[in-house]
A and B are shown apart, each in its own frame.
Chain A
Amino acid sequence: EDQVTQSPEALRLQEGESSSLNCSYTVSGLRGLFWYRQDPGKGPEFLFTLYSAGEEKEKERLKATLTKKESFLHITAPKPEDSATYLCAVSSGNTPLVFGKGTRLSVIA
């Protein structure tokens, strides 16, 4: 059974304090790993898809990386507007996504 574990559960950063969120996964053949951002009271918003180990993608202050066992979402010099819950999900082929519980990020000015 595919499993996704995200850590930490919650993270509090000062504005400008860079850090990383972790997504560890166990799947029977990873076909894709997805990162989403969710603001309170809203549906998740797509950020990145990673398909193979070694792949990296960037968007503004966010950079996602992938290894054979985990993915990291690096946040460089975060701002208060980066505060949200970040969700990780995996796909092991033609199956629906399996999501982690998310990391709740708070960036304090």
Chain B
Amino acid sequence: ETGVTQTPRHLVMGMTNKKSLKCEQHLGHNAMYWYKQSAKKPLELMFVYNFKEQTENNSVPSRFSPECPNSSHLFLHLHTLQPEDSALYLCTSSLGTSVRNNEQFFGPGTRLTVL
């Protein structure tokens, strides 16, 4: 167990649905991240939160909306997604965002399929 949990583990949704992914970390970290992992492509950073404040938005379409109510919880709200958004969505956390404390601990991911 890595200390980072994600729910649900699998999600199938239609293009008109609204759903949310949840991430929780039990490591006492201050930074949390969302990544997208597609087949044959590198991990793509989506969002970074440090002390609940968003510090990175990597040109992500507005159909993905993050929320970080506190340092332990991170959500990704999804609406009107496209089939190409089907991927593994990974949540990570780190103690901080500087190079000496940004060792990231990954959750198990949510496998998302958009029909």
Contacts and interface: CB of A to CB of B under 8 A. Distances in A.
Interface of A: 4, 31-32, 34, 36, 41-46, 49, 51, 87, 89, 91, 93-94, 96-102
A32 B45 CA distance: 17
A13 to B, nearest CB: 22
Interface in B29-51: 33, 40-43, 45, 48
A91 B41 contact: no
Contact of B99 (A87, A91, A100, A101): A91
A97 B106 contact: no
Contact of A99 (B43, B97, B99, B102): B43
Contact of A87 (B43, B105, B111): B43
A44 B2 CA distance: 10
Contacts of B66: none
A43 B4 contact: yes
A101 B41 contact: yes
Nearest to B107: A43
B97 A94 contact: yes
Interface residues of B, number: 25
21 contacts: A31-B99, A32-B102, A41-B108, A42-B109, A43-B2, A43-B4, A43-B90, A43-B106, A43-B109, A46-B104, A46-B105, A46-B106, A51-B99, A87-B43, A93-B99, A94-B98, A94-B99, A96-B97, A97-B104, A98-B42, A101-B42
Nearest to B98: A94
B56 A96 contact: yes
A46 B103 contact: yes
Contacts of B100: 32
Given A93-B99, A96-B56, A101-B42, A45 B106 contact: yes
B103 A34 contact: yes
B103 A49 contact: yes
A45 B43 contact: no
Contacts of B105: 46
Nearest to B50: A94
